[in-house]
Structure 1
Amino acid sequence: MVKFVRFTIISVLFYAASIQAQNISVSATTDTSVYKVGDFIRYDIEIKYDKGIVVYLPSVKDSVKTLDYIQTMPSEKNEANNKIIDRYHFIFSKYDSSQVTIPSIAIAYTDGSSSVKKYIRTNPITVTVKTLPVNQQEDIRDVKEPVKLPPDWILIGLIILLLFLLSVAGYFLYRYYRKKKNLREKIIPEFIIPSHEIALARLSDLEQKKLWQNGFVKEYHSEVTEIVRQYFESRFKFGALEMTSSEILAVLSYLEEGKVIETISEKFFSNADLVKFAKFEPMPKVNEEMMKQAYEIVNKTIPIPVATPIKEEQDVQ
């Protein structure tokens, strides 16, 4: 009998300790009970439980359908008097006036003795959302004009000074680069290749082509004649490219420097006209003579450089 009483007392104490070890409570609150349309509604859930309990918080965003979800704030976890305290914070809003009840939310948990989930529910909360009061007796007023701020004269002065300094700097930079460009143009003279050098180079290139040797006789005579005409036009400044052979010879006869090549030029253009107009098939000797005559025409009319007298300094003894 004594053993039975002792066993009963021990069982009752163990059961009481088990109930105390599995203690859990939950509460829900809002920061106030009356809001205006569009205000933020802060909804807090606080859960207190023993260390052996595991809490499974559901999706509060999906559980509260009566309000418009805004965001979830950072949660807090604290420990006091051998209990764990979890605090969860949520922001909702409401965009029309009404009385709204935030429903009770079921929160699952398990204790150390079993993996079967148990549930505890939050308390429902009723809040009131009101519109802004409107005075029907007041007149309709225009929208207020923007507030005119006084001008910041210091800032305006600094901007004007900055623009002035930039203008001065731009002016001096322009002067500097303009002067530098003019100096460069003065230092670098324009180099003009003399007419006779161009003609001699073209005649040399024509020789290298060996046109008449490869059967291109007319092409050879056409090109050598064009080189001489171009030389006359550049050297004596008359339109030799557009003139006939007789007209060119007439101009040369009037030029003092052209008289020295009048005879050789007549032979040159006579051969050229025979090939061009009389369908004359020249002998190789004629082709060679045409090249020699062209060289002679150019070489005999190369300008003679004018000697610049050198002033000798006399030593004063």
Structure 2
Amino acid sequence: MRRTTVKLIILCVLLGYVLCPFRLLAQSPFEVKARTDTDRIRIGEQLKLELTADLDLNSMPGASLKVVFPNLPDSFAHWEVVDRTGLDTLGQTNGEKHFKQTLTLTSFDSGHWEIPPLKFEVYSTRTDGSYDSMFTQPIGIDVGTVTVDTTKAFKPIKSVRTVDWAWLDYWPYMAAGAGLVIVLFALWWFLLRKRKKKEPAPEPVSLEPVYDRTIRLLKELDTEKVWQQGNVKEYYSRLTDILRTYFEEQFGIAALEQTTAELLQNIKPVTILNQQRDKLRSLLSLADLAKFAKLQPSPEEHVDSMHKAMEIVEWTKPAARPAEGQGLPAPANGSGNHTKQ
């Protein structure tokens, strides 16, 4: 009988050793606590629930542990969680590691309610994956109602009160509205200025008569000695442009957009201009060769082209037609002896 009892004791010890899932923590103290700052509140009041966990690392050197605090839902057993802090590690003193979390609770049901036991878990981060769990003690809290003196009569319900209007209560909206108006006005002003800048400025209206301006431009071209400086193409381009502009403004012919053949065809209805047709054809043909065929006319041809241009303008002058060969301004660099066309 005695031998059987010894065997039974040894068997229980071996089974306890083998079946323990977390032998490491069985050798190391693990303490958890839950406490509140009061045991009595009124409906809607709040209390603080403090959860702590202490680990004694002296009894488990080299151990790597992870503590998991209770995960309370927002509403449980007549209680509401108003706020919760994060898990704080309070540091390590004398080989002990401390953890803490604070929750703010309230209740809207009167009576005596308990905060149930809360489960803590400790995991070993080693490869064995063992864990252990511990529970806190339940905490009883009395939730009372507001004391009502039933000996006194009920007071009547007060009517709705009208609150005086105060502009200070609405100044943020006023400021936002004023800011929006300023922004819209600034945007409109910016777009208006930008549009005005894009609009092309109207060309200045020249008060100088067409004939006087044409003669002045021809004399300026002759005085600049363009062809004498080797710029033959520029000389004939400017010369023909001056004549074509004169035809457009004086006779309404789209001379700047027309070829030489088209221009000679369109001057036929203008009798006074058609009378200078041969001179104009000779001048425009020589200018086309100089501009597009790189022809190099002689100096006499340059001077003669200017003389023909002035003759055409003088002949078609809005005033009385001058006599043939009379009253023509001579080119500044022209020779007095050249043949009339």
TM-score, structure 2 normalization: 0.40
Larger fraction in helix:
1
TM-score, structure 1 normalization: 0.42
